[in-house]
Structure 1
Amino acid sequence: MAYSAGMYTTAVLALPDAIAFDLATPIETFGRVRLPDGRPGYRTLVAGPEHEVTAGPLRLAVDEGLDALQRVDLIVVPGRNNPLAPTPPAVLDALRAAADRGTRIASICVGAFTLAEAGLLDGRDATTHWLAADEFARRYPAVRVNPDLLYTDNGKILTSAGAVAGIDLCLHIVQNDYGSVVAADAARLAVAPLHRPGGQAQYIVRNRAPRRPTALDRVLPWIEENAYRDLSLADLADAAGLSVRTLTRRFKEETGQSPMQWVAGVRIRQAQELLETTDHTVDRIAAQTGFPTTSNFRSQFGHVVGVTPGAYRKVFRTEPNRTAEESR
């Protein structure tokens, strides 16, 4: 098939059990790109190993076979609902062949698992949905995974974090291809910012307690209730009924963190909740959540979340529910 000259051709890879949102993201984002003379910036097709693919509750027809991946400028690999399911060998071979030709290949969300399975991320920076990042790092230790980022760009191989971060990555690609003016126009049509402040770090739910019973079951709820206090390692050990040495070992085994790192994470999460749901000043929130000073709170919050407390509040502030009388 001969493709139109003067534009980039993109293939969205449709795999079995694809995430429908991930499939639609590049189709819609690139489909909105118009050059200053009105011409489309991209031609987008859907390619895959089968003529029909299931994407959640949807069944979708697929335009092209895998051979199309060798004739395009960019391949986008959406995530799959089960990212641990093995990828068809023919797909992995097609991706490797395209990479060898110098084709740009980008993943959305847990689509990074497919790129890693093909060996395309070894020795490279990558990101994926924060919920899957630990498993990704365990399975693919040769990849430098960073779950805090919205996307990574290694030149020819790109990855993005979960869901809407796929739009961030697509707009980044548009900006690289056609410049800021065209990308900003595509962002406006998508009703999305061209650049979001911070990264995926601000969306991560921190300190998820182990799901199975552990020796920490006694101390974890205690930390939640007492994080506002000036806590020491000895305080935590007393609350757990363990020695300091045993407590430290247990925390490392069960959470991958030290006890005081866990406390800091609880304080940050509680501060996030206050920023989202109250009008309390930053000074008051710092004191309520156990930080010794406001400057210490700002520093730790920025380091962990990636944005300032004020910037976080602007994005996540929950407006109080108004009554019917107030809304008239």
Structure 2
Amino acid sequence: MKEIAILIHEDAVFSTVSGAMDMLIHTNRLFHESGKPLPFKIMLVGEKSENEFLRNPEPYVGYSAIADLKNPDLIIVPAFYGDRGVIPQKHQTLINWMNSMNKKGTEVASLCSGSYFLAEAGLLNGKSCTSHWFDKDDIMSRYPAVNFLSDMVITDDRGIYTSGGAFSSLNLVLYLIDKFCGREIGIWASKMFSLDMDRTSQSHFAVFKGQHQHNDDEILKAQNYIEQNHHQELNIDKIAGHTNMSKRNFIRRFKKATQNTPFEYLQRVKIESAKKALEKGAQNINLLMYDAGYNDIKTFREVFKKITGLTPQDYRKKYSRDIPSFAGIDVYNSIN
């Protein structure tokens, strides 16, 4: 039996706690009804010895203070709401406990933004990780020793597991059930919770935000020029000319500021433009392609699929719908 400790605190996104609990509980229930030993001992773990708000009457779940839980097999860290720089510091006691358990052999898994707790503990140094795509730039800036893979839904690196954003974190719980209980049970859980087995990418969810959070004004000028003129015929020499830099120096500074080469940045801006048109229901792929700045349909399709993981047609089917206008609301920069 694996003892799994799910961290709880007042800033936790409870859907990630309850979602993980539901999947683990139902797996236990399957084993119980089959007359077999339960695979998981599930513990809700917090700093306090009493937590009435999160007390759960479910027979498959226990509650413990961290001081009383000696050696769990796995700790699951939920997502959280709030300032990415403040909340992990607020819960440093939990992070220190998690770190000490890991040194004793306990594996650790994070759901969505729970990866910040792992990064703060140093558990992700030199390891691959993922998180919500919105956090990519911030994590790379705060924790340069982390190999952040924003496109991935799941990472598994030497006993440290991380998941993609929001409800895609349930794919990590499915992965853990499959790993600990075997493929047959993994397939059962996949069907029971309507989750795709072996899903690897979250790239089609991502919104390219432009990486403007740096202090290089000349590169910001180049970024703005690309974003305003991406539909025209642009090349690196032309873009560099707007910054009064040599081509070589421009490419070096651009990569340092944005983590993309100028060419990569241009492609991402073009594809983001195409994605927005497809989301609004654009039917003519060729016209959309020209508006985005491409003149070759094969190249457009290849770049679109490389960046999003979907063909333009599949992306339109997945995200095109009649939606109300939210004029004046920056929905992407309002995400916590």
TM-score greater than 0.5 by the shorter chain: yes
Deviation string, structure 1 residues 110-135 (Cα, Å, up to 9, x no partner): 21121122222222111122222222
Q: Report the equivalent of 1:46.
A: 44
Question: Hey, what does 1:37 align to over in structure 2?
Answer: 34
| Alignment match, 2:12 | 18
Structure 2 partner of 1:8: 2
Question: What SS does the corresponding residue of 1:43 show, helix, strand or coil?
Answer: strand
Q: Secondary structure at the match of 1:70?
A: coil
Match of 1:28 among 14, 22, 41: 22
Aligned residue pairs total 308
Match of 1:206 in 2: 208
Task: Specify the alignment match of 1:152 in structure 2.
Answer: 155
Name the CA shift for 1:218/1:72 in 2 (closer, same or farther; >3 Å): closer
* Contact residue 127 and residue 161 of structure 1 kept, 8 A: yes
Distance 2:250 2:144 in 1: 28
Cα pair distance change 1:215/1:118, threshold 3 Å:
closer
Answer whether contact 1:11 1:68 (CA < 8 A) is retained: no
Query: 1:324 maps to what in 2?
Result: none
For 1:289 and 1:92, the matched residues in 2 are separated by 45
Structure 1 residue corresponding to 2:231, chosen from 206, 228, 232: 228
- 1:144 & 1:233 partners in 2: Cα distance? 28
What is the match of residue 115 of structure 1? 118
Q: Which stretch shifts more, 17-26 or 103-112?
A: 17-26
The correspondence for 2:101, drawn from 94, 98, 102, is 98
- Could you say which residue in structure 2 is the equivalent of 1:285? 288
* Aligned partners of 1:10 and 1:42 also within 8 Å: yes
> What is the RMSD of the two structures over their aligned residues, measured on CA atoms?
3.3
Distance 1:264 1:106, change over 3 A: same
Q: Secondary structure at the match of 1:64?
A: strand
| Residue 332 of structure 2: aligned partner | none
CA distance in 1, matches of 2:278, 2:185: 35
Residue 76 of structure 2 corresponds to 76
Name the CA distance, whole Å, in 2 between partners of 1:49 and 1:144: 30
Identity %, equivalent residues: 26
- Counterparts of residues 313-328 of structure 1 (less than 5 Å): 313-318=316-321
AA aligned opposite 1:30: L
Confirm or deny: 8 A CA contact 2:281 2:316 kept in the other structure.
Answer: no
* Structure 1 gap segments, 5+ residues each: 1-6, 322-328
Please, which runs of 5 or more residues in structure 2 have no aligned partner?
Answer: 57-62, 325-336
What is the CA-CA distance between 1:12 and the residue it aligns to? Answer: 0.5
Q: Contact between 2:127 and 2:157, CA under 8 Å: does it hold in 1?
A: yes
Deviations 1:156-197 (A, max 9, x none): 21111221121010001111122333223223332333343x
Shift of 1:21: 2.2
Q: Which residue of 2 aligns with 1:142?
A: 145
| Alignment check: 8 A CA contact 1:152 1:158 kept | yes
Cα separation, 2, equivalents of 1:138 and 1:221: 21
Whether contact under 8 Å (2:214, 2:257) holds in the other structure is no
Contact 2:123 2:160 in 1 (8 A): yes
Q: Secondary structure at the match of 1:26?
A: helix
Stretch moving more, 140-149 or 88-97: 88-97
Amino acid corresponding to residue 243 of structure 1 in structure 2: N
Q: Which amino acid aligns with 2:8?
A: A
Partner amino acid for 1:199?
Answer: S
Alignment of 1:52-67 (within 5 A): 59-61=53-55, 63-67=63-67
* Whole-Å separation in 2 of the counterparts to 1:68 and 1:307: 48
CA distance in 2, matches of 1:143, 1:212: 19
1:182–1:267 Cα change, 3 Å: same
1:133 to 133, 136, 147: 136
Counterpart CA distance in 2 for 1:258 and 1:297 is 19
CA shift, 1:103, in A, is 2.2
Q: Distance in 2 between matches of 1:292 and 1:232?
A: 14
Identify if the C-alpha distance between structure 1 residues 284 and 38 changes in structure 2 by more than 3 Å, giving closer, same or farther: farther
Deviation at 1:61, TM superposition (A): 4.3
1:165 corresponding residue in structure 2: 168
TM normalised by structure 2 equals 0.77
Tell me the TM-score normalized by structure 1.
0.78
Structure 1 residues 145, 258: CA separation in 2 closer, same or farther (over 3 Å shift)? closer
- Once residues 132 and 29 of structure 1 are traced to their aligned partners in structure 2, the CA distance between those partners, rounded to angstroms, is 26
The 2-side partners of 1:316 and 1:92 are apart by 38
* Mapped partners of 1:169, 1:163: distance in 2: 11
- 2:78–2:113 contact (8 Å) kept in structure 1: yes
C-alpha spacing 1:122/1:262, structure 2 compared with 1 (3 Å): closer
Change (3 A) 1:298 1:19: same
